[in-house]
Each structure stands twice: as structure tokens, then as C-alpha cells.
Structure 1
Amino acid sequence: MAAEIDIAPVSGKGDLNAFIELAYTLNASDPNWVPPLRADVRELLTPGKNPFHDHARVQLFLARRNGRVVGRISAHYDELALQQPPEQGMGPGTGNWGMFEAADEPVAAALIAGAEQWLRDQNMTRVLAPISLSIWEEPGLLVQGFDHAPMLLMGHNKPEYRGWIERQGYAKAKSLYTYDIHTLADGFPDLINRIVASGERSSRITVREVDLSRFEEDAAICIDILNQAWSRNWGFVPFTEAEKAYGAKKLKPLILKGANMIAYVDGEPAAFMLAWPDINRKLKDYGGRLFPFNWAKLLWWLRDPDDANFRVPLMGVVPKYQNSRMASQLAFMMIEYIRRYAVGSHGAHRAEIGWILEDNQGMVAIADAIRSRVNREYRIFSKDL
């Protein structure tokens, strides 16, 4: 007879430690899994440190079999997500689960059932999952691209998880793609170069680097554009003022002069693009810990990353210019300037763009135009409760 699986809420420091440590245990043999920093995971899950908890309710669960921890899951809902239009993916009654790890399929089934019941008890009527914890962190389950490690702030999971989730009655809601540019030094096609040159001749357009001496102000400009640009996107949930400040503080160490751009049209902020060095190449060897010596190694590398690859995680164009030639021109100008900087200053040979919604035609067209290719697909699933 199979041993009974017990699903119980996380309670106390010991349970939280077990919740965090399980991911390192279950993924230890996967050469492409990048151990996140334990301190970052703990901060993500801690009310008072991560401002997501100011407008969300989160319950963590552990699965045990014969007294041994064999799985984990978070069940949560976001009050801001509940206020979004249902046709954009979130909306009233939509809860989530995430932070999912399971030793086998029976454990997975028990965890998902436990998360679903908690969401029903909170009057949720539908699930979008996995989302860990918000749409801005690690949304979706990896379903394509297991043969290489993810870049920073992208997830990696066992291939088996997809079948385990689908057999619990989940269907695809949306796919998110990341795009790989594998020959950065070669530059972009002539058509793109002509578009960039045309923008440089325009008296209406100005593109500048994010200014580290006024970083908080520039970060606010970028997030304000993001909140406008993404407001009609599937899955969108706006950033709060606390999240703007928190995000700026967390991301400042990754901001390199020349890799992050703000574009102006007629003197008004119109678009932005961020590119960060892929610290996962370093974190892979750290085992999820910065102390006692890894913090110094990482900070030293971030001062002037050598042979660094870059990820473009976020860009946005204000609605006024979306679906116009101006939008694509601004995007091509910023990405070309970032390419020049990444190759010239840091020897970059590869970059990644995304994630991008599968039906975001404008961004998909831009990715295709610069000869990038889909290298990973993440899938968000849905189920009615």
C-alpha cells in the first residue's frame, strides 16, 4: 500500500526552511537548474519585505510522506489582479498557485488539490498557474527549452511537471516565449540599420541611457511607461508605489551604464528598454548562497562583467505610439544601442529577449526582424474551480 501523503500549511521557521530547501534537493541533479539565492527566496516569501504581500494573500503548503518533505506549493490571490478586466486574463475570482516542486505525480496531485481547496475557501472560482508569486516574477511552467540554463529571473523545472499538471484538469491559458539572439557581434539586418539611422536623423526622437546618478527618478519613469504600455496586455497587474521603490532598489546593482535606455518623442518619455547582465552564469556555481565569499565575487564581477551575456526582460512604448512605425523605430534604436554597448564593453556574444506573450504581434514581429529565435516556452494553465 502506498504511503499516505500529508498536505499541511507552512507554520513556523522550520517549515519555511524546509519549503525553501526542497527546491535545491529535488533539482540537484539537473545541470541546467540554477540555484536561486536562498536569501532572495526567503525575502520573496516574507510579508513586510516583499510589497507583493501588501495586496495579496499567500498560503504556503508542504507535502510529507512518512514524515519526509516531498513537495511544496504556494496558493495565493492578488487583490489588484482581481480588479483587472476578465478578458485580460485575471479578474474577479481568479487565484493562483506556484512555487511548485514535487517528488512524483501522486505528490503533485495532492499538492494541487490542496491549493485548489484553499482557493475555493477564499471564494476563488478559477486558477491561473503556475505563477510564483506574481506575473512580474516567474510566471509559467517551462515546456520547451530544457537543454540549456535559463537567464536571470526565468524559471526552470522538470519536464514531467507538464503532464502531472495537465492530468489534474488544467488546460493551456497562454504561452510566453523567450527569444535568443546568438550572434550579437554580427549586428542586425540592413533594414534595421536603416531604420535606426533614420531615427537618429529625426529631430523628434532622443534616446538616452538611464542615469545612475538619478536612478530612482529614471526607474520611476520606466515603470510609469510600463504600467501604461502593458495596461491592455493579458495578465497585467499594475505596480504599486511600494513595488516601484522596492524593484528599483533590488535591480540597481544590475544596471550598467549603456545597457538601459529611455526614449523621448517631442521631449516626452515614450519608451524604455532594460538589459541586465546574466548573473545566472555566476549563481550556477554558488549553490544558492552568497556568504561567506560569493558576495564579493559577484559584486566584483558586476562592476565590469567580462564575457557577459544579457537579457532584455522589459520594454514598453506608451499607448500613443503603439501599433505605429514610431514604436518599432524606438525599439530598434534602443536594442541596437544596447547591442553596441554589450558587445563593445563586455564582449557579449548572446542576448535573450522576453518573456513575450505568444499573441503580442508587435513584439513578436520585432523579435523576428532582428533574427532572433524562440529558445524557451513557458506555459500558464487555467482551470475552473
Structure 2
Amino acid sequence: MQREASHSQSDKIEIRPVTSRRELRTFITLPRLLYKNMKGFVAPFDMEQEGLLDPRKAAIFRHADIQYFLAWRGKTPVGRIAAILDQRAIEYWQTKIGQFGALDCVPDSLIVAALLQAAENWLIDRGAVRVRGPVTLSGNGETGCMVEGQETPPMVAMPWHPPQLSRLIEKNGYEKTEDLLSYSLEITPEIEEHFPVPGGMQIGKGRLKSITTRSLSKKEIVAQSEILRKLYNDAWAHKYNFVPMQDYEMQAMVKQIKPLLRPEHYVQIDQNGEPVAMAMVIPNIYDITADLGGAPSLSGWLRFAHRLFTHRFKSARVILLGVSSKLRGTILGSLLPSLAIRELMQRSKKQPYRWVELGWIQESDTGMRSLAEALVPHPHKRHRLYEKPLVKR
């Protein structure tokens, strides 16, 4: 087990805002440099991280004020953090809650405290009364601090942190507000039997006569993604930390994952022609990038392109699952999540996936947890969200 770093008089930590393209590059690539020797960490592509963090590329910068900070020990960068004022979140929550995110550093209490203080001061100066996080850079993206599962296989769009980081966040006055759980489901020939339909009902017949399903169409992906966005916003509106996804955010996400998608990766359930539920699974990009590093060589990029073209994946993640609010609390509404996942699992037989990650699921969402834990008794990963009141200096 890696221990928290010890300190001496010479361990001076300096926190500086990111103000140049060179510093931004350091900010984006820092985690793969800090964590490269830590067990369980697999470096994401720098190009992927640029899509999340570069103000010229990340959609969230259209409605959020964000300041990046780097922690330096001498000339060596040893940590990073983002302070975030998401105007859409503030409007929706009707409270000026700021957020912190992209928190990555060596497991050192001085560094964590200094980074959090820098983000808090920036938020306080702009009128925030509470701070919540971590998120990268939105609750619709990578969310939470990993507290369990560091040595499990990495999964697309899920953050990785060393085991000590959550404890160091808590030392700075942050309290847990929600845990986000992920479950690993093995794909077997009989997988759909784990999602039974009561009374042998069938979609499009009998009591489900009004129910139909749709797959993904790359020709219609823009129109379908807008349906997906509206249904997602409706289905998740009552969840903790939810912020309505903007149309340009959905377009950016679809653009990023489109090369991975196939028709069977998306299920839309309609009732009398109106969308009422959806589920989407995406292949786990780490299956084909884990041995290439964050900045592949030319031969590495060629290997990546070949693996992507031939779909050399062994796992995937259910990233979206929701039911229209108008069916919440009804018998059909309680049945639709199982129906949607059943459809996905049936289609997954055409793919090489050996397992699928169901996540994340909020710990307080007893309905979705019951569905997941009927198949997999215990989560294999846990990410945590925190909050803290801010006091004006």
C-alpha cells in the first residue's frame, strides 16, 4: 500500500492558476504522469482528455466559468484541480453551488488541502455558498472520487483515483452526499433470462401491444440524439446532482463516441410512437488502448485503428438508462428498465463482449439497485460525491 508522503521544511507547495497553453497541456496530461506506477491505473488518451478539458473543445465552457489550478513543488507539477461555476446547474438548483473537479495529485495531505483551498477561494470570490464534487467537468460526465475498485479493469468514462484521495478530501471538511455504484455483469448465452418479463409478456403483443423498440441509426443519429437528450433530461430530473444536458453537449458527446457505436448499442422504447424509455451501451475503449499509453506512437495509432475497425472489445458499459417521468410509479414504468436492458443483452450476443458494467447507479436509487443486485449482489466500483459549505473570508 502506498503511504501518504511525509513532509519537511523544504516541501513548499505553490498553487498557480493555469494561464498558458503550455500549462494547459501540463494540466491535461498530469494524471498519467502522476499515476503511471500505481497499480490499477491505465492512462487514457491525451486526445480524449483534451475533448473533456480543453476550453476550445469541451462543450461545458459555453455555459460555465472554469478556472484550472496546478500545484507545484519547485519546478515539478504535483497536482491539479478545477474550480467550476456551472450557470446551468446554478439555474436548475436555484442555489449558487460551485463545484470542484479534475482533482488529481500524489497522495499528500498538503497538496490536497492547498488545491481544495485554491478552488474554494475562487468560488467564494464569485459568490458561491457551497461546493460540490468532484466532477470532470460536469455531473453529465466523469463523476465522483473513486473510493473502491482501483484494481478492477478500467472502464470508459469512469475516473480513477488512488485509494488515499477520498480520505484526504474528507480531512478538509467535505462530507459524503452520494455514492455512485457500478456492477460487473458477465455475458452468458442465457443472459436475457435474468431480465424476465412477467407472465411471458412480449413487446408488441398482448398487454405490451402499444410498446415498440428502435435501434440506433447512424443516418438519423442527430435526430435520435435529441430524442435521447430530452428523454434523459426528463428521466433523470429528480436525481441528486442532475443538471439538464444542453443540445450542444449531447452533440459533442455523440461526436466523440460515434466511431464506437453500432445499431445494437442503443434501445429506445416507444409507447404508441412516443419515446418513454431508453438505454445505451458503449464499448470499453480501454480494451483496445490499455497497452498504447496516453500518447501512442505512429505504430500505436495504427494498431488502435485496426482494433477499432475490427471491434476488438471484450467489455462495455451501460451509460444511459432512464424512464419517462410520466410513467414513474406505474407498473409499466417499473418494468421498462428491465425490458430495455434485456433488449441490450439480447443484441450483445452479436458482439464479442464478455462482461458489461452497469453504472453508475446512485446508492439512494433503491429501484435501480434492486434490479442490478438481483443479478450481481455487490458493486465492484464505488465513486463518491462530497459537499461543503463555503464561508466568506
TM superposition score category, shorter chain reference:
over 0.9
User: What is residue 257 of structure 1 aligned with on the other side?
Assistant: 263
The answer on whether the counterparts of 2:195 and 2:342 sit within 8 Å (CA) in structure 1 is no
> Within 2, Cα distance between the matches of 1:12 and 1:67?
16
Which residue is 2:168 aligned to? 164
**Letter of the aligned partner of 2:320 in structure 1?**
L
Residue in 1 aligned with 2:126? 122
CA distance in 2, matches of 1:313, 1:282: 19
Counterpart residue number, 1:92: 95
Moved more, 246-255 or 185-194: 185-194
For 1:241-320, list aligned pairs within 5 A: 241-290=247-296, 292-306=298-312, 308-320=314-326
How much has 1:309 moved relative to structure 2?
Answer: 1.2
Q: Deviations over 1:134-178 (max 9, x none)?
A: 001111101111221331000111001011111111110111111
1:36-73 Cα deviation digits (max 9, x unpaired):
11122223222232120011011011111122211111
Q: 1:329 Cα deviation (Å)?
A: 2.6
Q: C-alpha offsets along residues 65-94 of structure 1, whole Å, 9 cap, x if unaligned?
A: 122211111111100110123xxxxx4221
Q: Secondary structure at 1:323's aligned position in 2? A: coil
For residues 234-292 of structure 1, give each alpha carbon's deviation from its aligned partner in whole angstroms, at most 9, with x where no partner exists: 11111112212222212211211212111111111111110111111222112113552
Match of 1:380 in 2: 385
Q: Given the alignment of the two structures, is residue 105 of structure 1 paired with residue 109 of structure 2, yes or no?
A: yes
Gaps of 5+ in 1: 86-90
8 Å contact kept, 1:181–1:373: no
- 1:64 paired with 2:69, answer no
Structure 1 position 200, deviation (Å): 4.8
CA distance in 1, matches of 2:340, 2:200: 9
What code does the residue aligned with 2:100 have? W
Give the secondary structure class of the aligned counterpart of 1:83.
helix
Name the counterpart of 1:356.
361
Question: Where does 1:70-89 land on structure 2 (aligned, <5 Å)?
Answer: 70-85=78-93
Give the count of matched residue pairs.
379
Distance 1:190 1:310, change over 3 A: closer
Alignment partners' CA distance in 2, 1:46 and 1:379: 25
The answer to whether the Cα contact below 8 Å between 2:71 and 2:79 also exists between their aligned partners in 1 is yes
Normalised by the size of structure 1, how large is the TM-score?
0.93
Give the Å deviation of 1:196: 6.8
What TM-score do the two structures reach when normalised by structure 2? 0.91
2:183 equivalent to 1:179: yes
| Identical amino acids, percent of aligned pairs | 28
Q: CA deviation at 1:296?
A: 3.8
Residue 88 of structure 1 corresponds to none
Q: Match of 1:381, SS?
A: strand
CA RMSD after TM alignment: 1.9
